[in-house]
Amino acid sequence: MKRAVFVVLALLVVGSMVFAGGSGQSGAKTKIGVSIATLREERWVEDYNGFLEAAEKYNVEVIIQVADNNAARQQAQCENLITMGVKALIVAPHDSEAARQIVAMAHKEKTPIPVIAYDRPITGGGADLYIETDQVEIGRMMGRYIWNNVPSGNLVFIKGDAGDDTVYMMADGTMEILKPRLDNGTYKMVAEQFAVDWEPANAMRHMENALTANGNNIQGVIAHNDGTAGGVIQALAAQGLAGRVPVTGQDCEVDAVKRIIAGTQGMTIRYDNAGMADGAIQAALKLINKQNPGATGRGDDGTPVLGFAPTEINRDNYRRILIDSGLYEADAFN
C-alpha cells in the first residue's frame, strides 16, 4: 500500500534534513523551510508526506527538519533553515511559547521571513498565519462522545503535553460540553494529568494511578490523542476494563481504528493532513509574494487563521469514511 511505504520512508529520517522538489540542487526554486516537532505519532508522518507531495506539485524546494520533541533543537534547526536561505518558515512547534523566538528570529532578517504556525499555535501571536484544524471543536467532539456514552460517574482526563497550546484549546471545548454534568455532580473528574511529550507510557502511568486511587471505579476517559488513548487502554486492560470504559482519542492512527473496531476505544478524529500541508505551501508562496494567504478568520491574538474541518471516526462510520472513500485499502485494519 502506497501509504505504508511513505510511513517507512519518513520514519527513517527522524531528526535529519530532507529536501523535496529539487533535492536541494536547484537554486532557481523557491526554498521553504518546514520544522516538525515530532514523527512519533502516525498523523505527523502523514503531514510530513503531504509536504513532500506539495513540494513536487508546486515545484518548490522544501527543506524539512524534525526536532524530536525538543524545543531548543527546533529553534537551532530553524536558525539553520534561515541560514540556508529559506523564504518562508512553516513551524509545528513543540513548545508553543518557546516558538515565539523562532518568529522573532525570522522577522529580524533584512528581508523578513514569513512564519506559518502549523497545527499548533505560537503563543502570543506574531506568526503571519496559523493553519489549524479547529482544536476547540475537537475538544467538543470528545466531550460529546463522553456525554452520549457515559450517563454518569467518575471521569479521568489525560491531556497532551503541557507545552502544547492545543491541549488547552481542546480542554476548553471538552469542558464546555461536560460542565453542566460536572456542576450538578452527575460527573466527577477524579484525575486530570498532562502526558509529557504526548508519550503513551506517561498516559498509561497516569491511568494506572487513577485506577488505583479510585478502586477501578472509572466510567469514562478523555484522552487527547490516539497515543495517549493507547496507553490508557493498556492500563484498563490490565484490570480487565478495556472495552468497558469509553475512551476518546484523535489523529486517526491505524492502531486506534483497530481498537475502535475491537471496541476498546470509542472514537478518534481525522485531520485533512494532506490538505493542510498543501494549504501551508500555497500560503507560504503567497506570503513570499506579499499576497493574501487566504485566511478564513482570526485568532484571539489577532493571528490570521486558515481553518480545516475535523472529522469524527467511530465504529459506525469508519468503513464509509476511511475505506469506501479510497483513503485506505480494505484490509488496512485487519
Residues 99 and 78 sit within 8 Å (Cβ to Cβ): no
Q: Cell digits for 69? A: 520533541
- Torsions phi, psi for 31 (to 5 deg): -95, 130
Query: Domains along the chain?
Result: 2-119+271-294 (3.40.50.2300), 135-270+313-323 (3.40.50.2300)
Cβ atoms within 10 Å, residue 90? 28
pLDDT at 10: 42
Q: What is the pLDDT of residue 272?
A: 92
Q: So what's the pLDDT on residue 330?
A: 83
Mean pLDDT on 262-290: 96
Q: What average pLDDT score do residues 317-329 get?
A: 94
Q: Tell me, what's the pLDDT at 14?
A: 45
pLDDT at res. 16: 55
Dihedral over alpha carbons 137, 50, 15, 268 (to 10 degrees):
30
- Flag the least confident range among 179-183, 258-262, 270-274: 270-274
Residue 91, all three cell numbers: 513551524
Chain segment 69-126, per-residue pLDDT in tens: 999 999 999 999 999 999 999 999 999 999 999 999 999 999 999 999 999 999 887 8
pLDDT at 291 over 70: yes
Which candidate, 167, 75, 175, places its Cα nearest to that of 115? 75
Could you tell me which residues are beta bridge partners of residue 220? Answer: 155
Pick from 94, 77, 95: nearest CA to 86: 77
Determine the Cα–Cα distance for residues 63 and 316; give it in Å rounded to an integer.
40
Mean pLDDT to the nearest integer, 261-289: 96
Residue with the bigger pLDDT between 328 and 5: it is 328
Query: What pLDDT was estimated at residue 17?
Result: 64
